[in-house]
Amino acid sequence: MDSSDLRRLPRMDRLLAQPARADSGLPRSILHQAADEELSALRAGPGPVPESSELIRSILRRAVSACKSSLTPVVNATGIVLHTNLGRAPLAGAAVEAMTGAAGYCALEYDLEGRRRGDRTARVEALLCQLTRAEGAAVANNNAAAVLLSLAALAGGKGVALSRGELVEIGGSFRMPDIMAQSGAHLVEVGTTNRTRQSDYRAVVESGEAQFLLKVHTSNYKVVGFTQEASLSELVGLGRAYGCPVLYDLGAGLLLPPRQLGLPEGTPSASESIRAGTDLICFSGDKLLGGPQAGILLGRKWAVDAVKAHPLMRALRPDKATLAALEATLQLYQDPDTARREVPVLAMLSATQTELRPRAQALARRLEELCGDACALSVEDGFSEAGGGALPGVKLPTALVTLSPRDRTAEELDAALRSSVPPVVALLRRGRVTMDMRTLRPGDEEAVCHAVEQSL
């Protein structure tokens, strides 16, 4: 923009005094910011000065988009059940209700019968112990917090033996060696990347280098080929023989054994890890459990009590909405069949291709009617992933609906779907927009049809 154009730009105070903005109901500070940005963009750009009404419209658009919640609900058509970028586990209806119920005043730390102070986590802990037969339970803000707390409370100043094959990075800079350093424990690496034996742990315990044993489930990768790892029971046996506590980070732990929940064998479960005699285990609340973001700690009473007594516990505890959602989710687990049906993560993960195919065909028929010649549609078989660092390498047979638009690219259609209300997040594969039926929730088909109709 040249200097004569620059002079013709309206002044900010005049712009903001326009009647259009008075009707917008948007906060003045947001409008000010939007006008500032719009004028700067115009000054920097090559274009001419727009009409004042056009300028006001642009400013309002900017302001509206700045006010939009970043937590806007989306349709997950990726088939990735625990999509960390899309909020991991969608909550069960009962959990959502419980969260809303707890949003106002609630008897969080109040004993209504005794008219005295109550315990904020007593009910959740009792449920966790009952479901897994653990002696004690505690809940932290997330599993990263649970790992940090466990190590700080039980292994501070000690050497902690961990296999080189389990030096996990979860993402978001959660790296096992870094967390270990923060906790005050020191890492004693044992074995090799691909092979670690019980004798490797024994060597560092016998030499006095390590006084604590840690096992971490490699939840987001798989070491394949010439591999070996010490089993949990081998570590527990060693721990007993040498008086070393054993901590197991399950990552995406299941609460109950996989066969009770219709999931592939080989996924570690809390109840089985407790039965193996592990002193303390921890896992995420919003991965395979299908609840809110939380870190669940279970194990021997002495170990859990030590964690709860640590000063960091207060800094890393969950809020009332989380506790309400977690309690409601755990209630569903009292009957494994109810959990399979009502906990969305379990229902989606156990959905079979036979169940998903007719849903894909029905959606494709509806889309075909809407699209006419604008788009070629097909229903195909494929595979979905659990995601969220759960069930690595497990491919879940699924049904897909693919769209190939005729007059625009798949990238353009995909972008339009993402900007629809609600946004639809699909996959882009081999030049086609692909939707996986596994993660569509009841009612999502409607939103998908609306988005496709608007996008073509």
Ligand X SMILES: *Cc1c(COP(=O)(O)O)cnc(C)c1O
Minimal distance, residue 218 CB to ligand X, in Å: 7
Binding mask 181-200 for ligand X (x = CB under 6 A): --------------------
Minimal distance, residue 71 CB to ligand X, in Å: 17
Tokens 């039926």 correspond to what residue? 437
The amino acid present at 174, given as its one-letter code, is F
Q: Which stretch binds ligand X (CB under 6 A): 105-113, 231-239, 247-255, 421-429?
A: 247-255
Minimal distance, residue 219 CB to ligand X, in Å: 3
Using the minimum distance from each CB to ligand X, give the nearer residue, 48 or 171. 171
Q: Which stretch binds ligand X (CB under 6 A): 213-221, 233-241, 363-371, 375-383?
A: 213-221
Using a CB cutoff of 8 Å and minimum separation of 24, what contacts does 177-181 make?
179/144, 179/147, 179/148, 179/151, 180/151
Assess 339 for contact with ligand X (CB under 6 A): no
DSSP label of 228:
B
| Residues in 376-435 that interact with ligand X by CB under 6 A | 389
Cα distance between residue 318 and residue 420, in whole Å: 34
Cα distance between residue 26 and residue 45, in whole Å: 26
Assess 249 for contact with ligand X (CB under 6 A): yes
Cα distance between residue 231 and residue 198, in whole Å: 8
Assess 166 for contact with ligand X (CB under 6 A): no
User: Which residue has its beta carbon closest to ligand X?
Assistant: 251
> Is residue 321 within a helix (H) or strand (E), and if so which, with residue range?
helix 320-332
Q: Which stretch binds ligand X (CB under 6 A): 23-31, 142-150, 260-268, 419-427?
A: 142-150
| Residues in 250-309 that interact with ligand X by CB under 6 A | 251-252, 284, 295
Using the minimum distance from each CB to ligand X, give the nearer residue, 142 or 398. 142
Cα angle 154, 194, 259; round to 5: 70
Cα distance between residue 453 and residue 451, in whole Å: 5
CB 65 within 8 A of CB 34: no
Is the four-CA dihedral 437, 442, 446, 451 of positive or negative sign?
Answer: negative
Rounded to the nearest angstrom, the gap between the alpha carbon of residue 122 and the centroid of all alpha carbons in its chain is 25
Assess 144 for contact with ligand X (CB under 6 A): yes
Strand order in the sheet with 246-251: 136-140, 295-299, 280-284, 246-251, 212-216, 159-163, 186-190
Residue choice 35, 98, 168, 401 for contact with ligand X (CB under 6 A): 168
Q: How many residues belong to the site for ligand X (CB under 6 A)?
A: 16
Cα angle 252, 255, 257; round to 5: 100
Minimal distance, residue 170 CB to ligand X, in Å: 4
| Residues in 25-44 that interact with ligand X by CB under 6 A | none
Residue choice 62, 120, 217, 438 for contact with ligand X (CB under 6 A): 217
What would the 3-class secondary structure string for 56-85 be?
HHHHHHHHHHHHCCCCCCCEECCCCCCCHH
Q: Which stretch binds ligand X (CB under 6 A): 59-67, 138-146, 298-306, 361-369?
A: 138-146
Binding mask 145-164 for ligand X (x = CB under 6 A): --x-----------------
> Is residue 213 within a helix (H) or strand (E), and if so which, with residue range?
strand 212-216
Q: Which stretch binds ligand X (CB under 6 A): 25-33, 216-224, 228-236, 369-377?
A: 216-224
Assess 326 for contact with ligand X (CB under 6 A): no
Using the minimum distance from each CB to ligand X, give the nearer residue, 84 or 194. 84
| Positions in the binding site for ligand X (CB under 6 A) | 142-144, 147, 168, 170, 174, 216-217, 219, 249, 251-252, 284, 295, 389
